[in-house]
A and B are shown apart, each in its own frame.
Chain A
């Protein structure tokens, strides 16, 4: 995918978001969003070339939708979990900071950042710090709940790589 295609495709998505934000769905609104996003995108250099290929796109989109649905469930569970702990008269907490490796051989920063984002919306966990892109330090409300954190991270890594078109 060339740079021009990348800029135009991203501008199209951004102008759709712009129309949603302004709640005005017409050609003029789209055009304003498109021109401004294309201008800004052409000024910002992308750090690496886009890895998207048209043949992989359906699978990437499918993985993205699965990821969004799973994230939605995780957010709802997280909120109910924290609400239950907060409203419990005994305040059942066992907090601590636990190191979880990202398990990514390439140590891609985007993968580390997205993993931390996903962890922060899963039940009772909050990313506090990083050691490069190698290890994440996670604050947990209940350190018993991170017994499975490494397996969850392995599954998450696989899904994120599939979304980014690297696997």
Chain B
């Protein structure tokens, strides 16, 4: 019982640390695209940690935590991509760019292929 609580607290601590790192990334990184890396990736692991902690500390929370973890990893890349595509379509420039292979939109009426 004690071991389970210790593991749960460790997982919570890990998750919260990663969420904080995600926020630091949001503040430090220069533009939309790089910030999406911080908000998306780092917070995925952070939320996994918090969910694992919840599953260990709360009775009967395991199935729900597992379902949420799976749902998160399925949906989070889609959200990141949607924001990046929207930013690109409305012409948000990269603050720092060493290479850009993507052609700019020729016609103003062009719609994004992927919603």
A128 near B21 (CB under 8 angstroms)? no
Q: Within 8 Å CB of A130, what residues of B? A: 113-114
A120 near B77 (CB under 8 angstroms)? yes
A96 near B99 (CB under 8 angstroms)? yes
A-B contact count (CB 8 A): 125
B38 near A82 (CB under 8 angstroms)? yes
Chain A residues 1-25 with CB under 8 Å of chain B are: 17, 19-21, 23, 25
Q: Within 8 Å CB of A91, what residues of B? A: 28-29
A79 nearest CB across to chain B (Å): 4
Nearest B residue to A117, CB-CB:
B77
Q: Within 8 Å CB of A33, what residues of B? A: none
A76 near B98 (CB under 8 angstroms)? no
Chain B residues 32-62 with CB under 8 Å of chain A are: 33-34, 36-38, 40-42, 44-46, 60-61
Q: B101 is contacted by which of A98, A113, A126, A141 (Cβ under 8 Å)? A: A98
Size of B's binding interface in residues, CB under 8 A: 45
A93 near B78 (CB under 8 angstroms)? no
A96 near B98 (CB under 8 angstroms)? yes
* Any B CB within 8 A of the CB of A163: no
Chain B residues 72-115 with CB under 8 Å of chain A are: 73-74, 76-78, 80-81, 84-85, 88, 94, 96-102, 112-114
B-side residues, CB < 8 A to A, are: 18, 21, 24-25, 28-30, 33-34, 36-38, 40-42, 44-46, 60-61, 63-64, 66-67, 73-74, 76-78, 80-81, 84-85, 88, 94, 96-102, 112-114
